[in-house]
Structure 1
């Protein structure tokens, strides 16, 4: 939106939430025009898994008949194996203007660095969802060195059921309202989702909603976006 004299103005978020929701109808926001293309951009993934979202559940007996069940996780009855939890991971593929490429993710312990290339840092790996979730920091003071960043989410462990996780990726810029992208579309059996792209377009940092689901993992997202990385098996450290 621009006033009559042609100057750009900030886009305001929802008055009740101070957030801009990126949807199919509204897919892009310019961090540069928001005055938010500097400092650390915080990207947060939060989700929750409720047993009622997986086709209901049953309890075997009661606590009086089964006192030991008090200390066991509730078993969810669904098609296929019983589900107790789901583990979503937040990650980011990066491509810098000098041609260097890579990934920041929990798998393989590729945690990145905030003060030196790639200027992207993963902080925390929440394996049970919750309000804190997982967070990636992007140092936008080095915005001129970025070519593009792909923020994505994959299901490391558990049943592929993105629409039942109530997952939300939220961007907290240094200025202006936060940006929210919900991962609530039905995508049966999908194990990964490209959530958003941050691109440097002629010096302007633009966030674009993607929300593209794939049935594979990082290598399939790589092919989809033409990143050109070599992928191999990896594991996360046990906690």
Structure 2
């Protein structure tokens, strides 16, 4: 085996074993579900984090274009047109939210809009830690107290754009679950949905005592009421507002 063959083979093995090496489970269309119970992570506080950053260029588009350069080498000398999407162009304010249904029949939502921040040691055992309006590295976080898992029937975590600017295609967004034990779980909002305003990211269901996380990543063109109808929550919705910066 030559040096270069060995180097390429080593890099291939690193990428193939990337999930194990980084102690991470990535939920995809082909592998959409994982059991927290079987992972030994169905207790303590589950931390669910939303993070995002603005796209600066269409990297995938450029990679597809590179293959065409071989067919037309003269294009190598033409300047590439790159449209940068920054907060100066469009102000995207992504918010995390959670629809909950408890085993006693209680239903509701935890979200920044309207100031529904929930509670961790009291029903619904789901608590929003804060509202990030600028896409900082820390993002937004919701905590779920799984020590009260017997009281939780189902949860639906979603993302919506508060300022009503449909621009999911201008952000790289990811939801990451950090259980009290075991590997973290990542779900990328990788599909392009330029006109969507909301996205159901994942569901957490209590199925006969087993907590199962299931990837959804379903974009809708409305807001929470449309997600409600899609998943049959049956809540009454009205116009809501965020508190000004520094207010609660």
- For 1:98 and 1:74, the matched residues in 2 are separated by 43
How far 1:16 moved relative to its partner? 3.0
Q: Which residue of 2 aligns with 1:114?
A: 120
Q: Name the CA distance, whole Å, in 1 between partners of 2:225 and 2:182.
A: 35
User: Secondary structure at the residue paired with 2:21?
Assistant: coil
How do 1:117-156 residues align onto structure 2 when only pairs under 5 Å count? 117-156=123-162
Task: Name the residue aligned to 1:87.
Answer: 93
2:20 counterpart (6, 15, 20): 15
Instruction: Give SS of 1:108's match.
Output: coil
Instruction: State how far apart, in whole Å, the 1-side matches of 2:94 and 2:135 are.
Output: 8
Q: Which residue pairs with 1:217 in the alignment?
A: 223
Match of 1:46 among 51, 72, 87: 51
Query: How many angstroms apart in 1 are the aligned matches of 2:22 and 2:87?
Result: 34
In the aligned structure 2, how far is the partner of 1:132 from the partner of 1:74?
A: 18
| Preserved contact between residue 29 and residue 208 of structure 1 (Cα < 8 Å) | yes
Q: Cα–Cα, structure 1 residues 42 and 176, in superposed 2: closer, same or farther, change >3 Å? A: same
1:87 Cα deviation (Å)? 0.1
Give the 4+ runs in structure 1 shifted more than 2 A.
50-53, 73-76
Residues 39, 74 of structure 1: alpha-carbon distance in 2 compared, 3 angstrom cutoff: closer
Q: Give the aligned length.
A: 206
Where structure 2 has 5 or more consecutive residues not aligned to the other structure, the ranges are: 1-16, 59-81
Q: Is the 8 A contact 2:55 2:84 kept in 1?
A: no
SS at match of 1:223: helix
Q: Which residue of 1 aligns with 2:74?
A: none
Cα pair 1:57 1:75 within 8 Å, conserved? no
Partner of 1:31: 36
**Alignment match, 2:76:** none
Alpha-carbon offset, residue 220 of structure 1: 0.1
Residue 175 (structure 1) aligned to one of 181, 187, 195? 181
Matched residue, 1:9? none
- 1:199-238 aligned at under 5 Å gives the runs 199-238=205-244
CA RMSD, Structure 1 to Structure 2 (Å): 1.8
| Alpha-carbon separation, structure 2, partners of 1:210 and 1:110 | 23
Residues 22-59 of structure 1 deviation map (CA, whole Å, 9 limit, x = unaligned): 00000000000000000000000000114546x6259x
CA distance in 2, matches of 1:129, 1:231: 26
Shift in Å at residue 186 of structure 1? 1.0
Shift of 1:13: 7.9
User: Larger Cα Rg: Structure 1 or Structure 2?
Assistant: 2
Provide TM-score, normalisation by structure 1: 0.82
Distance 2:32 2:18 in 1: 14
Separation of aligned partners in 1, 2:222 and 2:109: 16
Change over 3 Å in CA distance of 1:13–1:37 after alignment to 2: farther
Return the offset for 1:21: 0.5
